[in-house]
Amino acid sequence: MNGRPLLALLRRDLRLAVRHGGESLMPLVFLFAVLILVPLGVGPGPNLLAAIAPGMVWVAALLASLLALEHLFRPDLEDGTLEQWWTGEVPVGLLVAVRLFSHWLITGLPVILFAPVAAQMLYLPDRALGVLMLSLLIGTPLLSLIGGLASALTLGTNRGSVLLSILIFPLVVPVLIFATGAVSAAADGLSPQAHLGLLAALLILALPLVPLATTAALKLNIE
Amino acid sequence: MIWKKIKVGFHKLGSPPVFYRVCQVVAPWLWAGAAVCAAFGLYKALFVVPPDYQQSDSFRILYVHVPAAWQAMAGYLVMSILAIIALVWRIRTTEIMAMMGAPIGAAFTTICLATGSIWGRPMWGTWWAWDARLTSMLVLLFVYLGIMGLYAAFEDKRKGARVACILILVGLVNIPIIHFSVEWWTTLHQGSTISFFGESSMDASMMPPLWWMVIATKLMFGAALLDRSRNELVEQDRRKGWVRQKMEATA
């Protein structure tokens, strides 16, 4: 086995995302739409905003990651590409992992890069910014993994989108708890180490297992 | 010889008509057992057990709250085992049983959350708290609802069942979190006072009704599971010969 098919898939996914310009910017637009609406909704007081900043940034990141999930596997299922995955010599689990990686590059990475701006908008204390970015770096891949699994599970249904959010919601609760716990701890001048450690443990657990479950779900759906 | 007979009998359960008949015979006994245990347990819980020194009579809701919570989790474990069997050996009756456990588990989870809420109002002064145990139980309810929704969304019921079985196994991570939530996080919900292997910190006089209620909920779950599976099987197979024969025989 060589890695060329994997690279080809990654390049294809990214090229598609770039050429669909508007669509790939959606997560970022969405993130900032939420972050602008929050101060307008709860009032512009810096103390209140600073207190809810970790949670708001994270909820916005979570919602932004949902946007592209509907189209993660469906176009490939409809044009038959997905079935071809099983005919090649590359293990399908790796192809799935590459697909999820490109999803993370498109939806997760921009959020991390723009996190400093988001933090400023909500008056997050400067000492917590590093932890916010670190928590996003560990946590957003988890969002992509969980979202990918849910999107594979709902692939065979017609009304995927509502179901998608119901399936994702309970699975991302721990991610949200530990990530915002870390940022809040850092903002209060405490050590975020325990929260970040648990978040990293989740990622280490999910990284090998979730692509396998996703592959199994995809396989059931193309049978 | 006997071993072989057991094995053959077990495999026969994979056949819809045999499964239907076994469910039909076994379920009423389970219901009867559940009714007797629940009646006995509730009588002892309400009239025999002394009131708590601190919570007086309001602690008696424990005899519904705790068995429902245990059953909500035990039901999930049962579904997980069924899901593994369904995914590995592709036995249709186990697929159906795994799916039919979800609404029952969701019902027990709802009972647990509702009774906990009613109990929390006088004791904690609030209906709800974002405590680790409460939140993880709420997550369990949504996992149950997700399984039901996913299964219902598929037109091909067998495919839907197998996909939802994967979700059951993924959601299994939540069960240890619920169990250990009171140890990992020290928030509002109390720790365990009942221990299977050591000495419980609950008074011995308060224990027997609890065991009766625990047995009652186990039997209730089993009975409801068999009844629901039997109904689902008949509905899916309504155009098949064996169902027509069965229905004509009873009509």
3-state secondary structure A11-50: HHHHHHHHHCHHHHHHHHHHHHHHHHHHHHHHCCCHHHHH
Residue-level pLDDT at B227? 95
Q: Where are the domains of chain B?
A: 19-193+204-233
Contact B153 A158 (CB under 8 A): yes
CA angle A102/A106/A111 to nearest 5° reads: 130
Chain B residues within an 8 Å CB radius of A216: 87, 166
Indicate the pTM of the whole model. Answer: 0.88
Complex-level ipTM: 0.83
- Assign a CATH topology to domain B19-193+204-233: Four Helix Bundle (Hemerythrin (Met), subunit A) (1.20.120)
Residue A158, SS3 per DSSP: coil
Residue A124, SS3 per DSSP: coil
Residue B146 is nearest to which of A167, A173, A217, comparing CB atoms? A167
Residue-level pLDDT at B243? 87
Q: Which of B166, B174, B180 to mutate: most A Cβ within 10 Å? A: B166
Q: Is A174 on the interface with B (CB under 8 A)?
A: yes
Residue A169 is nearest to which of B135, B142, B166, comparing CB atoms? B142
Q: Where are the domains of chain A?
A: 4-221
Q: Is A166 on the interface with B (CB under 8 A)?
A: yes
For residue B173, the cross-strand partners are none
Chain A residues within an 8 Å CB radius of B171: 170-171
Residue A156 is nearest to which of B142, B159, B167, comparing CB atoms? B159
How many other C-beta atoms can be found within 10 angstroms of the C-beta atom of residue A29? 12
Q: Is A153 on the interface with B (CB under 8 A)?
A: yes
Which residues, including other chains, have CB under 8 Å from residue B123's CB and lie 6 or more apart?
B55, B58
Contact B174 A157 (CB under 8 A): no
Q: Is A55 on the interface with B (CB under 8 A)?
A: no
How many other C-beta atoms can be found within 10 angstroms of the C-beta atom of residue B94? 24
For the segment A195-220, the average pLDDT, to the nearest whole number, is 92
Chain B residues within an 8 Å CB radius of A149: 170
Residue-level pLDDT at A164? 87
The chain A residue lying nearest B161, using CA atoms, is: A220
Q: Which of A162, A164, A171 to mutate: most B Cβ within 10 Å? A: A171
**Count of pairs with CB atoms under 8 A, one residue in A, one in B:** 59
Divide the 251 residues of chain B into consecutive groups of 10 and give the mean pLDDT of each group. 84 88 94 96 89 81 93 96 93 94 96 93 86 89 94 91 93 87 76 68 80 95 96 91 83 66
Chain A residues within an 8 Å CB radius of B164: 153
The chain B residue lying nearest A152, using CA atoms, is: B163
Contact A163 B139 (CB under 8 A): no
What does the pLDDT look like over A78-103, one tens digit per residue? Answer: 888 888 889 888 889 999 999 999 99
Residue-level pLDDT at A200? 95
Contact A156 B167 (CB under 8 A): no
Contact B150 A157 (CB under 8 A): yes
For residue B148, the cross-strand partners are none
Residue-level pLDDT at B1? 78
Position A160 confidence tier, pLDDT thresholds 50, 70, 90: low
Chain B residues within an 8 Å CB radius of A171: 170-171
Mean pLDDT of chain A: 88
Q: How far apart are CA A77 and CA A93, in angstroms?
A: 16
Chain B residues within an 8 Å CB radius of A217: 163, 166
What does the pLDDT look like over A26-37, one tens digit per residue? Answer: 888 888 888 899
Contact A166 B153 (CB under 8 A): no
Taking the CA of residue A19 and the nearest CA in chain B, the distance in Å comes to: 33
Residue-level pLDDT at A159? 66
Contact A169 B159 (CB under 8 A): no
What does the pLDDT look like over B100-117, one tens digit per residue? Answer: 999 999 999 999 999 999
